[in-house]
C-alpha cells in the first residue's frame, strides 16, 4: 500500500548580511523570499544523502549532496533567464 502524504512547505529566508551574535534571530535581519519544499533521499550503498529543495511549484532550486564523512556539495539552479 503506497504511503501518501502532502509535502511540507517551509519559509525560505534571506539574511540582510547584518552581523549578529548568539542564537537570537531578529525579524529585521531577515526577509522571506518564498516557500520551499524539502525532500531527503538516502543512498544505502555509498552513504550519501541527497537533499532536494523545491519551490512551491515543484521546480528544483537546490540539490545538496551530504556524505556520511561530513562533506557537503551543493548545486543551485537559477531559472531567471
What confidence tens digit (pLDDT) does each residue in 17-44 have? 666 566 777 777 777 777 788 888 877 6
CA dist list (Å): 15 to 39, 64, 79, 81: 23, 20, 21, 24
Supply the range of the domain harboring residue 51.
Answer: 9-76
> What pLDDT score does 22 carry?
67
Confidence check: pLDDT of 1 > 50:
no
Count: domains in the chain? 1
Q: In this structure, is residue 47 part of a structural domain?
A: yes
- Give domain status of residue 2, yes or no: no
Task: Kindly indicate the confidence band of residue 69, based on its pLDDT and cuts at 50, 70 and 90.
Answer: confident
**Residue 25 counted as domain residue:** yes
Residue 3 domain flag:
no
- Flag whether 52 is in a domain: yes
Amino acid at each position: 500500500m503506497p504511503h501518501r502524504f502532502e509535502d511540507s512547505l517551509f519559509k525560505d529566508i534571506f539574511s540582510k548580511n547584518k552581523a549578529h551574535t548568539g542564537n537570537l534571530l531578529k525579524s529585521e535581519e531577515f526577509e522571506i523570499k518564498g516557500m520551499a519544499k524539502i525532500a531527503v533521499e538516502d543512498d544505502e550503498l555509498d552513504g550519501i544523502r541527497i537533499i532536494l529543495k523545491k519551490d512551491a511549484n515543484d521546480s528544483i532550486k537546490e540539490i545538496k549532496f551530504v556524505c556520511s564523512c561530513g562533506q557537503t556539495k551543493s548545486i543551485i539552479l537559477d531559472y531567471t533567464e
